[in-house]
Structure 1
Amino acid sequence: MMKRAAVITALIVGFALVFAGPAAAHDVDFMSIATGGTGGVYYPVGGGMAELINEHTDIDATSEVTGASVENVRFIQDLETEWGLAQNDITYYAKYGEEMFEEDSMEDLRGIAMMYPETIQILTLEGSGVESVSDFEGKDVAVGAPGSGTEANARQIIEAHDLTYDDMTVDYLSFVEAVDALRDGHVDAAFVTAGTPTGSVVDLAATHDPKIVEVEDEAMEVLMEEYPYYIDITVPGGTYEGIEEDADTVAVLAMIITNSELPEEFIYETTAAVFDNYEYLGEIHERGAEVTLETALDGMPIELHEGARSYYEDQGIDVDEYVN
């Protein structure tokens, strides 16, 4: 009888291990951070975060190359990765079922921190005949990969200038592909949404004469009134070789996201590892210097994970001033 009871107990324990759910599965000492392409800013900054977590915790952290924001929110929702980097507008769309997520809301998304502005850089080359977005009529324009954050930005900016995709030839290319197409003369202009300086644009400026097309003042007002995620921003002259003039455009914000089902202690520990040592990220990339504890909640578009909330409260931050 005792032997039979032991067998039943073993079976119950076995089923519990298999079906305990995501939280139990993430009690292991491993995590991945979904970043972006190697030509952007997510990849080096996410790699720096993984280094900090490895150094200051017992967790084995790695950073992964991905398709960036849209792919990352899906990875997080499906618990295929523990942290993800994403645009704040894309995170909001995913959480509340808007734009490319109209039939696919992701209710388990939670915020960890805000990072830095992701500038919408509208690129062309000297001699292209493109001086403003209004000149896109009849041109070949790379607007981002299908369903990407960059594509949403491009469409909204083009419409704010009283144009539509029907007025131009649209190429759906990732921003690395878009820069290559611009270099090779296959497109007249390209949208790149990324922290500056962006690696692929630095490479372009080393061999060609790019320029940044400004967002016109009236269009900027329309954008910021209709889409609360945009901020106005200036790309300073000298950010890229050969571009000496300041360029006025708009930006969204990069952020760190996770899944609500991950354990509070796990998120607290990993958040602390990064934000107790955030100065290191400035050594990894210029944009990493804008990741600070003081600005970690500015513009947070969704609910915080409880582990992150606990960390900030322990730092003396009144979380409710920033997050509902």
Structure 2
Amino acid sequence: MKKGIIVTFMALLAALAVTTVAAAAPTYMSIATGGTSGTYYVVGGAIAAAVTKGGKIQCTAETGNASVANMNLVATEGIEIAFVQNDITYWAYNGELMFQGKPVKNIRAVASLYPEHIQAVVTKDSGIKTIADLKGKRVGVGAPGSGVEGDVQAIFKVAGLTYDDLSKADFLDFAATTSRFKDNQIDAGFVVAGYPTASIMDLTTTKDVSLLSFDDEMLAKLQKEYPFFVPSSVPANTYSGITQETKTPAVMAILVTNDSVPEEMIYEFLTAMYGNLGDIAAVHAKGKEITLEGALDGLTCPLHPGAEKFFKEKGILK
């Protein structure tokens, strides 16, 4: 009888040990970022390391194909978290532009990170001083269906312009935009990224270019029509030869997830990320702009319950 009791007791201990190990095992999750030469990839890697340091989640950063592709990954539950611009999130959630008629209602916001600026690069000899001056010019408007092109379309709508007003609308990614400038094939090109942007830094070493400044009236109209735009500026001397501050709209880089991701997972993710902001800031300048106080800025879809729980505890969300 006693032997049977001992065997049962040992079996219970073994089961308890297995349960304890399982409970202690880290949760695995991935973050979709961007190309290896971009800001998303570097900052995403730093965030993944910070979250892993927290001990409860084993987090990895994966290369991605920017905001639209990342949004589709999250929507189809192909990844747990992704970097996406808040304008793309707005269009996805509301079924507009590249998501026309196909609203993505299962996405949820995790946190807002830092601004990404609309940088309209122009050659200094083009005579382009305002958005209206783009008429009759060769303009790089972003890769087809990209967030950059969506922003350009929004800006053009508010400015009363269409692609037909241009000499040529060239659908180019960052690298191709830089290449076309170097080959004197475009007069202006749009880049949406956190400054300083490597491709623009490279360009200013070989070409005499500037950044197009938006006036206050245009910035106000843009924000009224499209709330995801934030009036901002690129400081003087950010790039070689551009010595004046450039007023320009910005969108926000945010983290999004799927509504099927467990509440506790997102809560622990945020706990570890904000608990190790110093590590993220040490890796990239944009990491210094990630703050708890700005975590809800410019969010354009509902918060995930795990994020709600975290930000309420921190007093950021009422």
With 65-74 and 30-39 compared, the bigger mean Cα shift is at: 30-39
Query: How far did 1:150 drift?
Result: 0.8
Query: How far did 1:307 drift?
Result: 1.3
CA distance in structure 1 between the aligned counterparts of 2:26 and 2:285, rounded to whole angstroms: 33
Q: Give the match for residue 240 of structure 1.
A: 239
Check conservation: 1:236, 1:245, Cα contact below 8 A: yes
With 53-62 and 304-313 compared, the bigger mean Cα shift is at: 53-62
* SS across alignment from 2:108: strand
Q: Does 1:304 align with 2:314?
A: no
CA distance in structure 2 between the aligned counterparts of 1:176 and 1:201, rounded to whole angstroms: 10
Cα distance change of structure 1 residues 39 and 126 upon mapping to structure 2, 3 Å threshold: farther
Q: Give 1:119's match in structure 2, choosing from 92, 117, 120.
A: 117
Cα distance change of structure 1 residues 145 and 28 upon mapping to structure 2, 3 Å threshold: farther
Query: How far did 1:242 drift?
Result: 1.6
Cα distance change of structure 1 residues 210 and 39 upon mapping to structure 2, 3 Å threshold: farther
Check conservation: 1:40, 1:195, Cα contact below 8 A: no
Query: How far did 1:72 drift?
Result: 1.0
CA distance in structure 2 between the aligned counterparts of 1:225 and 1:92, rounded to whole angstroms: 15
Q: Does 1:313 align with 2:302?
A: no
CA distance in structure 2 between the aligned counterparts of 1:238 and 1:28, rounded to whole angstroms: 45
Query: How far did 1:28 drift?
Result: 7.7
Q: Does 1:33 align with 2:50?
A: no
Query: How far did 1:225 drift?
Result: 1.6
Q: Give 2:137's match in structure 1, choosing from 136, 139, 156.
A: 139
Q: Does 1:165 align with 2:163?
A: yes
In structure 1, list runs of 5 or more residues that go unmatched: 1-26
Cα distance change of structure 1 residues 38 and 211 upon mapping to structure 2, 3 Å threshold: farther
Q: Which aligned pairs between 1:143-222 and structure 2 lie closer than 5 A?
A: 143-168=141-166, 169-222=168-221
Q: Percent identity?
A: 41
Superposition TM-score, scaled by structure 2 size: 0.87
Query: How far did 1:62 drift?
Result: 2.0
* SS across alignment from 1:207: coil
Which amino acid is 2:264 matched to? E
* SS across alignment from 1:157: helix
Check conservation: 2:57, 2:268, Cα contact below 8 A: no
Query: How far did 1:177 drift?
Result: 2.1
CA distance in structure 1 between the aligned counterparts of 2:147 and 2:33, rounded to whole angstroms: 14
With 154-163 and 261-270 compared, the bigger mean Cα shift is at: 154-163
Cα distance change of structure 1 residues 214 and 39 upon mapping to structure 2, 3 Å threshold: farther
Q: Which aligned pairs between 1:35-54 and structure 2 lie closer than 5 A?
A: 35-54=33-52
Q: Which aligned pairs between 1:8-157 and structure 2 lie closer than 5 A?
A: 29-157=27-155
Which amino acid is 1:200 matched to? S
CA distance in structure 1 between the aligned counterparts of 2:77 and 2:246, rounded to whole angstroms: 39
In structure 2, list runs of 5 or more residues that go unmatched: 1-24
CA distance in structure 2 between the aligned counterparts of 1:119 and 1:316, rounded to whole angstroms: 29
Deviations 1:42-67 (A, max 9, x none): 12111111111222224332222222
Deviations 1:260-318 (A, max 9, x none): 1011121111111111112322222222211011111123222111111122223233x
CA distance in structure 2 between the aligned counterparts of 1:38 and 1:208, rounded to whole angstroms: 25
Check conservation: 1:39, 1:198, Cα contact below 8 A: no
Which amino acid is 1:255 matched to? I
With 281-290 and 242-251 compared, the bigger mean Cα shift is at: 281-290
CA distance in structure 2 between the aligned counterparts of 1:284 and 1:205, rounded to whole angstroms: 24
CA RMSD of aligned residues (A): 1.8
CA distance in structure 2 between the aligned counterparts of 1:291 and 1:133, rounded to whole angstroms: 31
Q: Which aligned pairs between 1:241-280 and structure 2 lie closer than 5 A?
A: 241-280=240-279
* SS across alignment from 1:76: helix
Cα distance change of structure 1 residues 158 and 304 upon mapping to structure 2, 3 Å threshold: same
* SS across alignment from 2:78: coil
Query: How far did 1:160 drift?
Result: 2.5
Structure (1 or 2) with the larger CA radius of gyration: 2
Query: How far did 1:106 drift?
Result: 1.0
Q: Give the match for residue 23 of structure 1.
A: none
Matched pairs, number: 293
Which amino acid is 1:239 matched to? T
With 176-185 and 83-92 compared, the bigger mean Cα shift is at: 176-185
CA distance in structure 2 between the aligned counterparts of 1:117 and 1:152, rounded to whole angstroms: 17
Query: How far did 1:117 drift?
Result: 1.1
Check conservation: 2:95, 2:104, Cα contact below 8 A: yes
Q: Does 1:226 align with 2:240?
A: no
* SS across alignment from 2:110: strand
* SS across alignment from 1:117: strand
Superposition TM-score, scaled by structure 1 size: 0.85
Deviations 1:168-224 (A, max 9, x none): 111111123222222222211110111111122122223323210112343323212
CA distance in structure 2 between the aligned counterparts of 1:185 and 1:31, rounded to whole angstroms: 45
